[in-house]
Amino acid sequence: MKAHIGIRLLLVDDEPHILQFLELGLINEGFDIRTAPDGLSALEIAAEFKPHVAILDIMMPGMDGFEVCRVLRDEEPDIAVIMLTAKDEVDDRVKGLSLGADDYMVKPFSFEELLARIQARLRNRFPGLLGEVRCGPFRIDGRRKEIRFRDAVLELSPTEYELLQYMVINHGLVLSKPMILDKVWGYDFGGEENIVEVYIRSLREKLGDKEHRIIRTLRGAGYRVDLL
């Protein structure tokens, strides 16, 4: 497959058979791959290779995946990080996400699920790399910064575009106001959370979503996009 040509992935795991399995599968998908058996070599490779996505094992000798994630997030803020672990512990998940990981998978996992998660993270952080993304009645063109709804181009401000893109790509998931503010406005946004409500109202008007069937409000939790 050639759909992922030009997209760089860094695989980090101290188990050679896992590295080989992932490397062969992802090369077949068209990705440009580099591998590392430990944290220190992973950071050296990342500094030169500039990966779009890093897939990190947690339990490694020396520098573990948590520390690699922390350093990568400091040095390469745009990189997407997916953490792999054999331990299904809530504390580990919380720690990884608090250090800046974008996703978390527990071993053993299916290759198809990993591929889907890589694509989801790319759509979030590098939407233009995958060209046009289709989600139900929505078509997102990251290169043109354009969203079509039922074949009609929506007239969106830059912030409306970023908000609707984020919500559509993560359709079916409940997105809280803090999550939306962090992803769309940035972690250092100093305004009020009700700015989200203002933009949601505007998007509903442009989508003709008077009954809130597309962008749903879940009281006390956040918002969810449902594809009709």
Q: Over pLDDT 70: what percentage of the chain?
A: 90
Give the other-Cβ count within 10 Å of 69's Cβ.
27
Q: Where are the alpha helices (DSSP H) in the chain?
A: 16-28, 39-49, 65-75, 90-98, 111-125, 158-169, 177-180, 194-207
Better pLDDT: 201 or 75: 201
Average pLDDT of 178-204?
Answer: 84
pLDDT, position 1:
34
Within 13 A of 203's CA, how many CA atoms are on the CB side?
27
The rounded distance, in Å, linking the Cα atoms of 174 and 17 is 36
3-state secondary structure of 120: helix
pLDDT score recorded for residue 16? 93
Higher model confidence: residue 99 or residue 202? 202
Other Cβ atoms less than 10 A from the Cβ of 188: the count is 6
Judged against a pLDDT cut of 50, whether residue 2 lies above it is answered with no
Average pLDDT for 19-28: 90
Count CA atoms within 13 Å of residue 92 on its CB side: 16
Residues whose CB falls within 8 Å of the CB of residue 146, separated by 6 or more in sequence, listed in order: 140, 153, 161
What is d(CA 147, CA 114) in angstroms, rounded to the nearest whole number?
26
pLDDT tens column, 32-65: 899 999 999 999 999 999 999 999 998 888 898 8
pLDDT at residue 224 greater than cutoff 50: yes
pLDDT surpasses 90 at 182? no
Domain architecture of the chain: domains with CATH: 8-126 (3.40.50.2300), 132-225 (1.10.10.10)
Of 28-32, 203-207, 224-228, where does the model show the most confidence? Answer: 203-207
Mean pLDDT of the chain: 86
